[in-house]
Amino acid sequence: MHLPVWRFGKPYESLERDTLVHFLTGEPVAEVSRVGGAIVGRDLQKAAQARRALLAIDPEEIVERLQTAGNLYANGTVTVGDTKQSPDDFVKQQSATTGLPESLCRANMQKNMFVLSSMDRILDALSRGLDPTILWRGHGAEHRGVTVSYQAQSPVLGLVLPSNSPGVHTLWLPVIALGVGLVMKPGSQEPWTPYRMAAAMVEAGIPAEAIALYPGTTDVGASILAGCRRSMIFGSAKTVDQYRGNPGVQVHGPGFSKIILGDDCVDDWPRYLDTICESVAINSGRGCINASAVYASRHTQAIAAAIAERLGPIEVKPPDDPEAKLAAFTIPGAAKATWQQIEGGLKAPGVTHATAPYGDRLVEGERCGWLRPTVVHCASPEPDIAKAEYMFPFVSVVECSQERVLDCIGPTLVCTAITGDPAFTARLIDSTHIDRLNLGAIPTTKLNWLQPHEGNIIDFLYRSRALQMPAAG
Amino acid sequence: MAGSASTPPQSDKLPVFEVACEEAVTKARAVLDAHTVETMAWHFHESTGCPFWLEYAKGLPFNPLTDVKGFDDLKKFPPFEDEWLRGGPVRRWVPQGLADQPMYVFETGGTTGTPKSRVNSRDFRTDYEMFSDTLPDRYFPRGANWLMLGPSGPRRLRLSIEHLAQYRGGICFCVDLDPRWVIKLIQKGWMEHLEAYKQHCIDQAITILEAGHDIRCIFTTPKLLEALALALEKKGTTIGKAGITGIFSGGTEFTPQWTRFAVEELLDGTYMTPTYGNTLMGLAASRPVVPADGYTIAYYAPQPRAVIEVVDFDDRDAVVSYGGTGRVRLTTLTKETFIPGFLERDEGERERPYVAYPWDGISGVRPFRELAATTTVGVY
């Protein structure tokens, strides 16, 4: 199988190709054409055509086509590269190169399909009921009769995509429905979702010239960021720092998502164990929305022991086992290096390893490695490991007074705060460290798609500005 | 490359270029062997050698003047360490036989720490004069003016290109570019500044190209060439329409795919010749880059003045088979500089002798795998 570069609808076979191999066997799974940044820079000079092609179609029709695309993506056989690909093929291929169990690949597929099939409701919620034709024409009358204008800030959204979790693709799925094209650099191990999604969209009638895919070297990412006036990049904390304050770049880095048990609820902690364990371990703990810390003022050792009792025994299973819950670290040595880092963190004063009684956490394979769920207890928020986030089910249970907790948690993508205390709730609502806030026992991983995630994509792609016209008459 | 005496196993792939005949290869080898003996006589004779080598020879278990009877005997030298080139006194590298000549010093590296230095009197001119003979007049017309859009400062390139232009009867316009600053920008992650600096260079280049100086030839790097082509395209023109007929370009980023993209989409018919070179070696020309050969870029060192061999990663004295992959080993044999068997920071595939260069070549040059992760490739 070969995945060519997709230059706004024109397939391009590079002379240079990367071979993706099965993480367990090393057998080739696909070849992916690889290009450099210049080709992106050149194509982006014609990016306006992507938006023009979308605007030529009625916005409601676009939404209907995206819903069809969602169905094709999840259930149909579509042509991806030079090959017909069924949903089962897709799941096996994605699992083979990312190390994710097939069951988790299927779950992510359903998540993506849900977003596409619910696109009308999602757009309505994100735009606060705006008539979609206003985004197409640039101006119009709101339902209150007030003239509003929304100006597209870029004809395309640039995307530098990750390989770790296919779930993140839900973030960009609404973009086409907003009349903005897509320029993507797929993750090197996970080109599958962008390619299959693009193929499904085109088959459903989305103009091929609205979508571009450039697998390639790091300078492809740099060219996308330099050439697209609006881009989304997924990366490490360093990447987040690098683009902080750049209005044209939305950075998605580590989530450092957390659960806080308020003083009023913490004595009932066993009631919330399901919520905590789901937040930590679902999707193999790979997402930025997986909880990496639980904060409480008391019972923390008992909480850590109880989470460890639930998650600690989880074993590595073959990727096609329906019960498999753990993804592999496919880069040789990565699991071991991560575990060594954790072992270093465990040596700090006040830190204990709650999953130690459940056997070795590091499992090394011939070509890859796994880390079994790991729970640590921190007697205070000070140790570095209290602020750590890793690409597997890992959680620090941190003892910290409710008074201090909001000063200690640091950046938090999703915070589930289990409290009924109005004063603490008010402080949580005001905390600028927290992006998404769940008030009550909602897993951090349970997203309401009708709510914005890390900023509203419409606010990122469009500028709401004044537009006046002389009164009729 | 040397075209070693013991013939290594051959790959089955049939070459699409004109391979040099056995007789030409043998003749070139004889010239190299004789040149090696002459070079030893110069560098290791008290009256002509430089202080460094004369001192070094005292500790060798052989006599370079009598025990080196051909190129293969250079293996007797221990590995050349480029660290020796860092720091002074720089005069220790100046051969006594050239002590009264005006000397240049050219630097390589130096983004952090002390750069490596190579003294130079006339070598850079000789290298570029020899290279000039490989340039087709049709695309690099005699008397045409040049633009040098590449690293300037203490590197040899700026003077070399200027000399090349003058040697061909033209005048060279130059744009300043500090690659050490570029590398720092990349290492600091200041990508906006990097982009702005690149744009600053490209703006100057376009201003010169539009100033009516009848510039027909350019030296530039692949990164700057693509930036220049895209900037011209934004202005509704092309490299070809700007009057450029020939481009001489160099850098390890010359991949077949990049070259194909440049030929198909950036150059608008302008001829481009890739080169591989550095301060220590000189300049290796490429055989013609053609689609039928998969846009393979194969370089041939300016033998006998410099020799490049593709050697086994674990055995620096074993040349790999044709088509095999190995590390670049460089030997420089000029009157100004002697560098035996220096392991370069690049790797590539061994290529068969070409009719115009009847000795081994190298293709697919890229940063050596063990150093690639720590190598910063700039815009230059």
pLDDT in tens, B68-77: 999 999 999 9
User: What confidence score (pLDDT) does residue B374 get?
Assistant: 53
Structure token digits, residue A327:
């993804």
Q: B266 pLDDT exceeds 60?
A: yes
User: What confidence score (pLDDT) does residue A473 get?
Assistant: 57
Q: What does the buried/exposed string (b/e) look like for A70-79 if buried means 16 or more CB atoms within 10 Å of the residue's CB?
A: bebbbebebe
A148: left (phi over 0), alpha (psi -120 to 50) or beta: beta
Within 13 Å, how many C-alpha atoms sit on residue A76's CB side?
A: 18
Q: How many Å apart are CA A232 and CA A252, to the nearest integer?
A: 7
B312 is in which domain, residue-wise? 22-372
Q: Which residue among A36, A225, A226 sits closest to B258, beta carbon to beta carbon?
A: A36
Query: Which residue in chain B is spatially nearest to A43 when comparing CA positions?
Result: B230
Residue contact A39–B294, C-beta within 8 A: no
User: What confidence score (pLDDT) does residue A163 get?
Assistant: 82
Strands A230-234, A249-252: pairing is parallel
Residue to mutate among B191, B263, B290, with most A CBs inside 10 A, is B191
Upstream peptide bond of B304 is cis (omega within 30 degrees of 0): yes
User: Is the CB of residue B257 less than 8 Å from the CB of residue A5?
Assistant: no
Helix axes A102-117, A87-98, angle to 10 degrees: 120
Residue spans of alpha helices (H) in B5-122: 22-43, 51-57, 64-67
The answer to whether residue B16 sits within a structural domain is no
Whose tokens are 């890390």? That residue is: A454
Q: How many Å apart are CA B64 and CA A216, to the nearest integer?
A: 49
Q: What does the buried/exposed string (b/e) look like for A404-426 if buried means 16 or more CB atoms within 10 Å of the residue's CB?
A: ebbebbebbbbbbbbbeeeebee
Structure token digits, residue A364:
């090394």
Secondary structure (3-state) at B88: coil
Query: Which residue in chain B is spatially nearest to A240 when comparing CA positions?
Result: B189
Q: B1 pLDDT exceeds 70?
A: no
User: What confidence score (pLDDT) does residue B373 get?
Assistant: 55
Please give the C-alpha separations between residue A263 and each of A260, A304, A380, A387, A437, in angstroms, as whole numbers: 9, 17, 16, 21, 18
User: What confidence score (pLDDT) does residue B377 get?
Assistant: 46
Q: For residue B258, which residues of chain A lie inside 8 Å, CB to CB?
A: 36, 38
Upstream peptide bond of B115 is cis (omega within 30 degrees of 0): no
User: What confidence score (pLDDT) does residue A217 get?
Assistant: 83
User: What confidence score (pLDDT) does residue B323 get?
Assistant: 94
Please give the C-alpha separations between residue A13 and each of A19, A171, A192, B171, in angstroms, as whole numbers: 14, 28, 17, 41
Instruction: Report pLDDT digits (tens) over B156-202.
Output: 888 999 999 999 999 999 999 998 999 899 888 888 898 899 999 99
Q: What burial class does residue A428 get, using C-beta atoms within 10 Å of its C-beta: 0-12 exposed, 13-18 middle, 19+ buried?
A: buried
pLDDT band at B16; cut points 50, 70, 90: confident
Backbone angles phi, psi at A272, to 5 degrees: -105, 10
Q: Into which CATH architecture does domain A2-253 fall?
A: 3-Layer(aba) Sandwich (3.40)
Percent of chain B with pLDDT over 70: 93
User: What confidence score (pLDDT) does residue B192 get?
Assistant: 83
Q: Which of A178, A169, A177, A172 is nearest to A112 (CA)?
A: A169
User: What confidence score (pLDDT) does residue A454 get?
Assistant: 67
In eight-state DSSP terms, residue A188 is: S
Residue contact B266–A238, C-beta within 8 A: no
- Between A316 and B253, name the one with better pLDDT: A316
Q: A297 pLDDT exceeds 90?
A: yes
All structural domains of chain A with their residue ranges: 2-253, 257-439
The answer to whether residue B85 sits within a structural domain is yes
Q: A159 pLDDT exceeds 80?
A: yes
Strands (E), chain B: 104-108, 116-120, 145-149, 172-175, 215-220, 246-250, 271-278, 282-286, 298-300, 306-311, 325-333, 338-351, 361-367
A14 near B CB under 8 A: yes
Residue to mutate among A15, A16, A240, A243, with most B CBs inside 10 A, is A15
Instruction: Report pLDDT digits (tens) over A264-285.
Output: 999 999 999 999 999 999 999 9
Q: What is the DSSP string of B202-248?
A: HHHHHHHHTTT--EEEEEE-HHHHHHHHHHHHHTT--TTTTT--EEE
Q: Which of B135, B161, B129 is nearest to B272 (CA)?
A: B135
**What mean pLDDT comes out for the span A87-96?**
96
Contacts of B211 (CB under 8 A, 6+ apart): none
User: Is the CB of residue A293 less than 8 Å from the CB of residue A395?
Assistant: yes
The answer to whether residue B221 sits within a structural domain is yes
**Cα-atom radius of gyration of chain B, to the nearest Å?**
21
Structure token digits, residue A302:
């008992």
Residue contact A226–B195, C-beta within 8 A: yes
Class of A257-439 in CATH: alpha beta
Q: B5 pLDDT exceeds 50?
A: no
- Could you tell me the CATH number of the domain that includes residue B345? 3.40.50.12780
The answer to whether residue B11 sits within a structural domain is no
> Is the CA virtual torsion B345, B349, B350, B356 positive or negative?
negative
**What mean pLDDT comes out for the span B264-283?**
88
The answer to whether residue B354 sits within a structural domain is yes
Residue contact B230–A35, C-beta within 8 A: no
The answer to whether residue B195 sits within a structural domain is yes
User: What confidence score (pLDDT) does residue B289 get?
Assistant: 85
pLDDT band at B378; cut points 50, 70, 90: very low
User: Is the CB of residue A375 less than 8 Å from the CB of residue A395?
Assistant: yes
B118 CA: distance to closest CA in chain A (Å): 32
User: Is the CB of residue A100 less than 8 Å from the CB of residue A285?
Assistant: no
Within 13 Å, how many C-alpha atoms sit on residue A103's CB side?
A: 14
Task: Out of A49-53, A244-248, A395-399, B54-58, pick the least confident.
Answer: A244-248
In eight-state DSSP terms, residue A113 is: H
Query: Which residue in chain A is spatially nearest to B227 when comparing CA positions?
Result: A38
Q: Which of A69, A232, A43 is nearest to B226 (CA)?
A: A43
Q: B9 pLDDT exceeds 90?
A: no
Instruction: Report pLDDT digits (tens) over B119-140.
Output: 999 999 999 999 999 899 999 9
Q: Which of A83, A415, A72 is nearest to A256 (CA)?
A: A415
Please give the C-alpha separations between residue A51 and each of A44, A195, A198, B289, in angstroms, as whole numbers: 12, 20, 16, 38
Please give the C-alpha separations between residue A287 and each of A326, B124, B206, in angstroms, as whole numbers: 13, 56, 47
CB count, 10 Å around CB of A357? 11
Query: What ipTM, to 2 d.p.?
Result: 0.81
pLDDT band at A346; cut points 50, 70, 90: very high
Instruction: Report pLDDT digits (tens) over A369-392.
Output: 999 999 999 999 999 999 999 999
Q: For residue B295, which residues of chain A lie inside 8 Å, CB to CB?
A: 15
Q: Based on the structure, what is the number of domains in chain B?
A: 1
Across the A/B interface, how many CB contacts are shorter than 8 Å? 42
User: What confidence score (pLDDT) does residue B7 get?
Assistant: 39
User: What confidence score (pLDDT) does residue B279 get?
Assistant: 79
A36 near B CB under 8 A: yes
Q: A298 pLDDT exceeds 70?
A: yes
Instruction: Report pLDDT digits (tens) over B329-377.
Output: 999 999 999 999 999 888 999 999 999 999 999 998 888 887 755 544 4
Percent of chain A with pLDDT over 70: 99
Q: How many Å apart are CA B70 and CA B68, to the nearest integer?
A: 6
Residue contact A15–B256, C-beta within 8 A: yes
Q: For residue B294, which residues of chain A lie inside 8 Å, CB to CB?
A: 15
Q: What's the whole-number average pLDDT of chain B?
A: 90
